[in-house]
Amino acid sequence: MLTFVSKRVFLTVALFFSPLFFLLAAVPTEPVIDHLRDLVYEQELSAGEIYPVYQSALEEINEKYGQSASGLAFSSRIEYFMGRVYQYEENSKDAISHYEKGFEYAEDSLKLETSVLALLMKSECISQMCALKPVSYAMANGLKVGSLADEVLNIDSDNTAALYLKAARYIYAPKIFADQKKGRKMLLEGLETMPYFPPDDEFNFNLAMGYSYIQTKDKEKALEYLDKALEVYPSNKYCKTLIEEAGKLR
């Protein structure tokens, strides 16, 4: 990542949830969802402590948007983040349950309206379930992650989450399928050209770069990117674990 912070463009755009906005603008969000996201990535609270925040977020979104396409897409994102909490705690059963709910919300949203957020969340939920469910699920659904990410990028070419999904499949795949150079190339191009990164995408890009360099035994580069990831979420335990792992490389 080259002079990453200086490349950010902080956007202050009002979010209008019409079909046209969904097709043309950046991924919409809500403060309550951003708060949940940050708690998940900070990894300072347990699933039990975060659960009330998750419930409150669902209630607020439902009160504000109901069962509209926007409300369903937002609910999908909330379920996805709760799934991540359980996944961090290696509770696959509850993680899958929330990812499945997130997938269903995204599907229901797309039945009403095509949106970047719903497409993205459908892809995100499938991606995580591929890692947790039996291999048969990954074999049947894995390719959908890339195709959904392509749909997002066709609508919003600057969508960092979609680009990350496409690159991550090369970096985090089993060694026999992985292509670290290709994955890093995709991430670097995004880091150098994308005009704006939400904090979770900034973290994910740098974490993936660091993880990739661990796989190719490049200690200096691995630590460089992992340190940048830790700047975004300084208490993230997984990132700290990777830093320890990178530090042992010779």
The pTM assigned to this predicted structure is 0.87
pLDDT at 153 over 60: yes
Q: Which amino acid is at 87?
A: Q
**Residues constituting the chain:** 250
CA quadruple 223, 232, 37, 13: dihedral sign: negative
DSSP 110-150: HHH---HHHHHHHHHHHHHHHHHS-HHHHHHHHHHHHHHHH
Mean pLDDT across 158-184: 92
Distance CA 35, CA 53 (A): 9
Mean pLDDT across 10-19: 28
pLDDT of residue 155: 93
**Which of 84, 167, 162 is CA-nearest to residue 129?**
84
pLDDT of residue 76: 98
What are the residue ranges of helices labelled H in 133-198? 135-155, 160-171, 180-193
Mean pLDDT across 12-29: 42
pLDDT at 119 over 90: yes
User: Over the stretch 51-83, which tens digit does the pLDDT of each residue have?
Assistant: 999 999 999 999 999 999 999 999 999 999 999
C-alpha 67: how far from its chain's center? Answer: 24
Tokens describing residue 81: 């983040």
**Which of 225, 152, 220, 144 is CA-nearest to residue 183?**
225
pLDDT of residue 26: 59
Distance CA 70, CA 112 (A): 9
Distance CA 77, CA 105 (A): 9
**Which of 185, 197, 187 is CA-nearest to residue 7?**
197
Lowest mean pLDDT among 9-18, 133-142, 168-177: 9-18
Backbone angles phi, psi at 192, to 5 degrees: -90, -20
C-alpha 146: how far from its chain's center? Answer: 14
